[in-house]
């Protein structure tokens, strides 16, 4: 049985002993349910497909536009248990965040590089697929390389950060989709 508490049209889940959690309800108050998302990602992805995808889109939008780590932490929690259509959605999420909030994404990946590489892997998959789908793969790869060179300068990355970024970049492989 699901217990939803209403307060000024805001919903908050009580996640005790539930088999699945309704992503549609979480969408009504994402900020108030971030802890629920992080603790119960495996139950959330079992819900309504459209609502799960809308939740991913909303978390991505919030991270891109607000640059608050709590949103990418929630995305990462879901990423850890994602498979099928949810896992595939992370290709687009990785690419979108890479292009629209590189600074925040890179900081998160760098700070969590020893934890688990789900978000890192999804970035590599997404950028590799982006290059793969380009009409001119070599040009697309050069554009990514130029983008990263500019970010190194713009963000004044340390030697350690540059080394990590180059390791990521070396893993971009559009041929994995041939």
pLDDT tens figures, 97-117: 999 999 999 999 999 987 768
pLDDT digits (tens, 9 = 90+) for 112-162: 987 768 999 999 999 999 999 999 999 999 999 999 999 999 999 999 999
| Position 6 pLDDT exceeds 80 | no
Contact call for residues 21 and 43 (beta carbons, < 8 A): yes
Contact call for residues 13 and 4 (beta carbons, < 8 A): yes
Which long-range CB contacts under 8 A does 22-30 form with residues at least 24 apart?
22/47, 22/48, 22/51, 23/47, 23/48, 23/51, 23/52, 23/54, 23/55, 24/48, 24/51, 24/54, 26/51, 26/55, 27/51, 27/54, 27/55, 27/58, 30/55, 30/58, 30/59, 30/62
pTM (whole model) above 0.75: yes
Q: Helix or strand or coil: residue 19?
A: coil
Taking CA atoms, 164 is separated from 36, 71, 112, 152, in Å, by 32, 23, 12, 11
Contact call for residues 74 and 123 (beta carbons, < 8 A): no
According to the model, what pLDDT value does residue 2 have? 36
pLDDT-above-70 percentage for the chain: 89
Q: How far is 99 from 91, CA to CA, in rounded Å?
A: 13
**β-bridge partners, 5:** 12
| Position 36 pLDDT exceeds 70 | yes
């Amino acid at each position: 049985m699901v217990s939803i508490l209403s307060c000024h049209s805001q919903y908050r889940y009580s996640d005790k002993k539930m088999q699945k959690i309704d992503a549609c309800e979480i969408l009504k108050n994402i900020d108030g349910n971030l802890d629920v998302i992080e603790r119960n990602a495996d139950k959330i992805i079992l819900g309504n497909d459209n609502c799960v995808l809308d939740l991913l889109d909303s978390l991505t939008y919030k991270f891109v536009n607000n640059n608050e780590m709590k949103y990418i932490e929630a995305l990462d929690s879901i990423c850890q248990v994602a498979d099928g259509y949810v896992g595939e959605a992370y290709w687009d999420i990785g690419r979108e965040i890479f292009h629209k909030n590189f600074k925040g994404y890179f900081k998160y990946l760098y700070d969590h590089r020893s934890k688990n590489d789900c978000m890192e892997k999804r970035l590599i998959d997404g950028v590799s697929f982006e290059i793969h789908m380009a009409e001119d793969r070599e040009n697309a790869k050069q554009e990514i390389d130029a983008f990263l060179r500019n970010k190194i300068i713009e963000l004044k990355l340390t030697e350690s950060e540059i080394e990590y970024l180059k390791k990521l970049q070396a893993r971009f492989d559009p041929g994995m989709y041939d």
